[in-house]
Amino acid sequence: DWLDAISRVGVTQNHSISLSGGNAKTSYFGNFTYRKAEGVMKKTGNESMSVAFDMSHWMLNDMLKL
């Protein structure tokens, strides 16, 4: 079948790991994500990675948050 020769079942994978923590004055959060998606047509698809990090800290007698 010609359609089977050029197509497939598209599969998507998502993997993510996060960490967070802190104390009364400081908090942090970090995340890494990996995604792979196969297209329904053979030899198509995409792959991506992302990283995020956030940190907050209270200063000056808790009047300023950075």
How far is residue 60's CA from residue 25's CA, in Å, rounded to a whole number?
Answer: 11
pLDDT (tens digit per residue) in 50-60: 999 999 999 98
- First CA to last CA distance, the chain: 62
What is the reported pTM? 0.73
pLDDT (tens digit per residue) in 22-65: 999 999 999 999 999 999 999 999 999 999 999 999 998 888 88
Per-domain residue ranges of the chain:
2-56
Q: Do the Cβ atoms of 31 and 51 come closer than 8 Å?
A: yes
